[in-house]
Amino acid sequence: MRRLDRSTILSSIIFVILCAFIFTQFLAWNESRANNHGFVFNDPVYQFLPLKDLSILIFSLTYGGIILFSALNYQVHNFVSMALVSYSFILLFRIPCMLILPLKVHPDLIFLQDPFLNEIIYPSKIVNDLFFSGHVALVCALTILSKIKWPFIAIACLLAICLLIQRVHYSIDILASIPFAWLSVRISQSLINKYFKAQK
């Protein structure tokens, strides 16, 4: 690995840690705000779906998608940095989105059990982090970044359905994640490409 590649990865790791810290602090404040001033969205999609705990499947799809992305794209230049910076911007974009649309969790929610996420990003029982879906946005970003796209499209679709069945997200959260994932990827690509040009 070239020195410049290592420098980019290290910078990306620091950036995603910083963004995750900012996002975590925001979530703690937003949770009480949404409970007091948020509103429940009457999602028409729910009437066509059962209610079931799919935490294990959601966990497997999310982290399995990350592993698959790494396996398929390990030879792609800066694939790690692109993914990390894209996810960083997904986290940052979620902050103003939740401020603008303060959704409150649906009463039928089954709490999502995610040992990794709940310990690092969500240190307390956060449920009102709704608009937009970080899970789907992440997989959509991996879809855009990956040289082979169809497995991630399938994972994103299945993941979206699972999140709706468990009432973790509303359908509008799922749909909104797509353009924000695209925007996050485009910004990350622009920044990293400019960084490389500046270092040459």
Interaxial angle between packed helices 55-73 and 79-100, expressed in degrees from 0 to 180 and rounded to the nearest 10? 140
Confidence at 93, pLDDT banded by 50, 70, 90 = very high
First to last CA, the chain: 16
Q: Which two tokens stand for residue 135?
A: 């899970």
Residue 105: CB partners within 8 Å, gap ≥ 6? 34, 40, 127, 128, 130, 167
More confident residue, 193 or 172: 172
Confidence at 78, pLDDT banded by 50, 70, 90 = confident
Poorest-pLDDT segment among 14-23, 41-50, 121-130: 121-130
Q: pTM of the predicted model, to two decimals?
A: 0.92
Confidence at 199, pLDDT banded by 50, 70, 90 = low
Q: Which two tokens stand for residue 101?
A: 């649309």
pLDDT of amino acid 76: 86
How do residues 175-187 score in pLDDT, each as one tens digit? 999 999 999 999 9
Measured between alpha carbons, how far is 175 from 78 in angstroms, rounded to an integer? 28
DSSP annotation string for 1-13: --HHHHHHHHHHH
Range of the domain at 193: 3-39+46-199
* 118 neighbors 41 (Cβ within 8 angstroms): no
Most confident of 30-39, 105-114, 153-162: 153-162
pLDDT of amino acid 126: 87
Given a cut of 70, whether residue 197 has pLDDT beyond it is no
Q: How many domains does the chain have?
A: 1
Own/partner pairs, 6-9, CB within 8 angstroms, 24+ separation: 7/199, 8/78, 8/81, 8/192, 8/195, 8/196, 9/80, 9/81, 9/84
Considering the chain, what percentage of its residues have pLDDT values greater than 90? 78
Q: What mean pLDDT is reported for the chain?
A: 91
Confidence at 119, pLDDT banded by 50, 70, 90 = low
Given a cut of 80, whether residue 25 has pLDDT beyond it is yes
| Side chain identity, residue 137 | A
**CA 164, 167, 171, 172 torsion-angle sign:** negative
**CA 155, 158, 164, 166 torsion-angle sign:** negative
More confident residue, 92 or 9: 92
Residue identified by tokens 């703690």 is 28
Confidence at 198, pLDDT banded by 50, 70, 90 = low
